[in-house]
Amino acid sequence: ISGTLISVLIRIELYSSGNRIISPENQNFYNISISLHGFLMIFFLVMPGLFGGFGNYFLVIFQGSPEVVYPRVNNFSILILSLSYLFLILSLISEFGGGTGWTLYPPLSTSFMSLSPSSTGNLIFGLLISGISSCLTSLNFWTTILNLSSYYLSLKTMPLFPWALLITAGMLLLTLPILSGGLLMVLSDLQS
C-alpha cells in the first residue's frame, strides 16, 4: 500500500509543471520518494510477494510435497522483513532522508544535498535485513526442491515453475552477498 501511495504521489507531482503537493522549499523529498519507491517495489513487492508468496504456495503443489522444508524459516523471513520496512520508513523521515533518486553513493550524491548519516544508515540496514530475508527464503526453496520432491519426480521431469524458482533462488544466493558488500562499502564511505 505504501509503495502505491508513493507511486501516486510521484504521478501527481509529474502530472503538470509546477509544484502540486511537494513544497518548493523541500525538493529533496521528491528525490527521496523516488528512491524509496524503487526499494519498496523491489524488496517488498517483487521479492517477498511474488517470489516468496507465489513460490511457497505453488512450489508444494508442483512438487507434490506436503510443505516446504522449513516453514518456520518463512515466518522468520516475514518477521525480519517488517523490521526492514521499519528501517526504510525511518530513513524517509529522519533528517534529509536517504537517497537522491539516482544514487546512494555519498561522494556522488553530496553535490545535490549532503546525505545525513542516520538516514542513509537506516536505509542501508533496511536493505541488508531484506537481503537476509531473501537469502533465507531462497535456501528454503533450494532445500525443498532438491530434498522434498515426490519419489517419481526427478530434475528431468520436474515442471517449469520449480525450475524457475531453483534458478532464481540460485541467482539470488549468488548476487545478494555482492549487494550487501556494496551496501557496506557505501556505509563505510559515508563514515569516512
The percentage of residues in the chain with a pLDDT greater than 70, rounded to a whole number, is: 80
Q: What distances in angstroms separate CA 126 from CA 14, 88, 143, one per listed residue? A: 28, 6, 26
- Residues 6 and 171: their CA atoms lie apart, in Å, by 29
Instruction: Determine the Cα angle at 133 with ends 129 and 134, to 5°.
Output: 115
pLDDT at 132 over 50: yes
C-alpha cell at 116: 545525513
Question: What is the pTM assigned to this prediction?
Answer: 0.76
Burial of residue 14 (CB within 10 Å: 0-12, 13-18, 19+) is: exposed
Where do the structural domains in the chain lie, given as residue ranges? 28-191
Find the mean pLDDT for residues 111-123: 66
Q: Smallest Cα–Cα separation from 62: which of 168, 178, 141?
A: 141
Residue 91 has a pLDDT of: 79
The tens digit of pLDDT for each residue in 168-191 reads 889 988 988 888 888 777 777 665
The tens digit of pLDDT for each residue in 133-156 reads 888 888 888 988 888 877 778 888
CB count in 10 Å sphere of residue 22? 16
Residue 98 has a pLDDT of: 66
Contacts of 84 (CB under 8 A, 6+ apart): 43, 126, 127, 129, 130, 133
